[in-house]
Amino acid sequence: MKNHSKLNDIAVIGLGVMGKNLALNISDNGYKVSAFDVDNQKIHSLVSQAQSESPQLDPHRIQPCLDVKSLLNSLEKPRVIVLSVPAGAPVDGVCAALIEAGIASDDIVIDTGNSLWTDTVAREQSYQGQFIFFSSAVSGGEVGARFGPSLMPSGNLDAWARVAPIWRAIAAKVDGATGLPIERFEPGNPVTEGEPCTTYIGPSGAGHYVKMVHNGIEYADMQLICEAYHLLSAGLGMAAVDIAAVFARWNQGSLNSYLMGISAEILRQADPLSDKPLVEMILDSAGQKGTGLWTAVSSLQIGCPAPTIAEAVYARAVSTQKALRTELSTRLQGVNANTSTLTDDERSAFIDALEDALYCAKVCCYAQGFQLMAMTAAEQGWQLDFAEIAKIWRAGCIIRATFLQSITEAYQADSKLSHLLMADIFATSLSDKQYQWRKAVASAVMQGIPVPCISSALAYYDSYRAPTLPANLLQAQRDYFGAHSFARIDGPVQDKFHFDWSGSRTLNKL
């Protein structure tokens, strides 16, 4: 797609943290970029940064544009325009401005924000005939956008064919032999070797849906690490710097991940003002932008169990009720578990158990996300390639982890895998580690330390390994008060019965 004309290859509208870094990434890879933002200072800041970071590159590779009309005139036709603006009304506002400025029907507009997937479907239909609305979710934060994100595009296939060369160039790269990220954070010197962490996800909305589930998994993964921190801190009385050492050690094994690595780094950091651990000076009230909530809601709507993801959302909600928690902490009694008498061997054994518990809960968390994607794909008629999705999450994105290589291999071995826990590698590892998992959860319960995600993942595991659940009693209750009927274990499931519980006590086939 690279050209030698005076016109540019691609435009970026919205030069906040993500848009600015995407523009720099694209220009590093040899493409000429037009850039626009309603804030002129952001335009000048981008151009200045590009020239100072990589003076050896073409100083004109990023062209500042002061309005949408001049941006359109600066581009090679058919045009490709990247939107990096907040989800919701701002996306439609920019689209309206592009229409007014004279965008053509074969031009491509790419929404890279965290839009709700149903909004993406509606926009593709709404703008049909005016331009090609395409979407590509982006994961990796500021550094990912600058040096290689994970990209989840979906929509018009012809649009993808035109966008693909740029997306493959700017995406994070993975060593195909090892599955490990190839990382280089040097402006003007992008990674060009390896497998790019981008693939065509599917029809309109599919990419944003997959990114939404990615973020739901991210919520749970973060909360799982926080619960391990809480158990080590409040349970064993360990100092932040010592927990950092534990996390760093875990990060060398099966729990290796971006989130584990940054957690260790966070716990090592001292507060410049008090010299205490910085983490202990941060108010325990967590924010959220909504994608985890969307994932939990979607799981409820479609009837896919994702309790660990939902509990991660609830955990953030509980954290925000600081005043109420402080008041109730003086009224609600806990237990007086004394762990100070534990021997060094006992403490070490508990840390090992917690490592296994964290791994098992993480597997269940990902299993919930992949099952949710599978059920939604079946409902929407999408053909999602889960091996490819796992592959593009191995680098660039927030949940990148060595563990994703095992998920990739599981789906490569069986593309029709009905559930991630059916894969031998995970069925065996969870079975082998379950005692340690139960030991960690039991210890948390006996100490009164909340572990909603680790414990909900264990309940999820136990529910799926149970051939019989008490839903028989539940269905009888429904039939008792609402005549909702039930199926029998000794007949076809499509045959329905109602029992006259309060009258003749007769069984009636419906």
Which amino acid appears at position 144 of this protein? G
Residue 336: pLDDT above 90?
no
For residue 127 the two structure tokens come to: 């703008």
Give the tokens for residue 331: 């009224």
Nearest to 7 by CA among 67, 66, 56, 80: 80
Identify the helix (H) or strand (E) that includes residue 392: helix 386-392
For the residues 50-66, what does the mean pLDDT come to? 89
176: alpha, beta or left? (left if phi > 0; alpha if psi -120 to 50): alpha
| CA distance linking residue 389 with residue 372, whole number of Å | 13
Q: Which residues are catalytically annotated?
A: 211, 218
Q: pLDDT for 122-132, tens place per residue?
A: 999 999 999 99
Domain with CATH 3.40.50.720 in the chain: 10-204
Tokens 């780094």 — which residue? 265
Q: Is 467 helix (H, G, I), strand (E, B) or coil?
A: coil
- In this predicted model, what pLDDT tens digit does every residue of 203-239 receive, in sequence order? 999 999 999 999 999 999 999 999 999 999 999 999 9
Distance CA 248, CA 235 (A): 19
- Superfamily grouping for domain 209-465: N-(1-d-carboxylethyl)-l-norvaline Dehydrogenase; domain 2 (1.10.1040.10)
Residue 285 and residue 226 in contact, taking contact as beta carbons nearer than 8 Å: no
pLDDT per position as a tens digit, 246-275: 999 999 999 999 999 999 999 999 999 999
CA distances from 436 to 203, 222, 366, 454 (A): 42, 21, 20, 12
Identify whether the C-beta of residue 256 lies closer than 8 Å to the C-beta of residue 403: yes
**CA-CA distance, 183 to 205, in Å (whole number)?**
30
* pLDDT band, residue 4 (cuts 50/70/90): low
Burial annotation 428-454 (CB, 10 A radius, 16+ → b, else e): ebbeebbebbbbbbebbeebebbbbbb
- pLDDT confidence tier of residue 55, bands split at 50, 70 and 90: confident
Q: Is it the case that residue 459 has pLDDT exceeding 80?
A: yes
Determine the Cα–Cα distance for residues 117 and 256; give it in Å rounded to an integer: 30
Q: Does position 1 have pLDDT exceeding 50, yes or no?
A: no
The mean per-residue pLDDT over the stretch 369-391 comes to 97
H or E element, residue 367: helix 344-380
d(CA 367, CA 346): 32
Determine the topology of domain 471-509 in CATH: 1.20.5
Q: CA–CA separation, 460 vs 426, rounded Å?
A: 14
For the segment 68-119, what is each residue's pLDDT rounded down to a tens digit? Answer: 999 999 999 999 999 999 999 999 999 999 999 999 999 999 999 989 999 9
Question: What own/partner pairs with CB < 8 Å and gap ≥ 24 does 262-269 have?
Answer: 263/225, 263/229, 267/229, 267/240, 267/241, 267/243, 268/240, 268/241, 268/244
10-204 carries CATH number 3.40.50.720: yes
What average pLDDT does range 10-23 have in this prediction? 96
Q: What is the 3-state secondary structure (H, E, C) of 148-187?
A: CCEEEEECCHHHHHHHHHHHHHHCCEECCCCCCEECCCCC
Q: How far apart are CA 249 and CA 314, in angstroms?
A: 29
Name the segment(s) of the chain with CATH classification 1.20.5.320: 471-509
Single pTM value for the model? 0.93
What is the CA 250 to chain-centroid distance, rounded?
Answer: 21
Residue 193 CB-density burial (10 A; 0-12 exposed, 13-18 middle, 19+ buried) = exposed
β-bridge partners, 154: 135, 202
How crowded is residue 72: how many other Cβ atoms within 10 Å of its Cβ? 21
The pLDDT value recorded for residue 342 is 86
pLDDT at residue 340, rounded to an integer: 72
pLDDT digits (tens, 9 = 90+) for 283-327: 999 988 788 999 999 999 999 999 999 999 999 999 999 999 999
* pLDDT band of 176, cuts 50, 70, 90: confident
Q: What's the order of all strands across the beta sheet hosting 10-13?
A: 62-64, 33-36, 10-13, 80-83, 108-111, 132-139, 150-154
Residue 170 phi/psi, 5-degree rounding, is -90, -15
Q: Which residues contact 117 (CB under 8 A, 6 or more apart)?
A: 205, 206, 208, 209, 212
Q: How far apart are CA 187 and CA 26, in angstroms?
A: 11
The number of CA neighbours under 13 Å toward the Cβ of 117 is 28
Residue 36, pLDDT > 60, answer yes
- Are 372 and 304 in contact by the 8 Å Cβ rule? The answer is yes
What 163-169 contacts at long range (C-beta under 8 Å, 24+ apart), as own/partner pairs, is: 163/80, 163/108, 163/110, 163/134, 163/136, 164/200, 165/1, 166/1, 166/9, 166/10, 166/26, 166/29, 166/31, 166/80, 167/136, 167/196, 167/198, 168/196, 168/198, 169/26, 169/29, 169/30, 169/31, 169/196
> Does residue 338 have a pLDDT over 90?
no
Where helices occur in 151-276 by DSSP H, the ranges are 157-170, 206-230, 240-250, 258-268
pLDDT at 5: 64
* Cβ within 8 Å of residue 238, ≥6 positions away: 232, 246
* Distance (Å, whole) CA 27 – CA 32: 6
When the pLDDT of each residue in the chain is averaged and rounded to a whole number, the result is 94
Distances (CA, A) of 401 to 69, 254, 260: 43, 9, 9
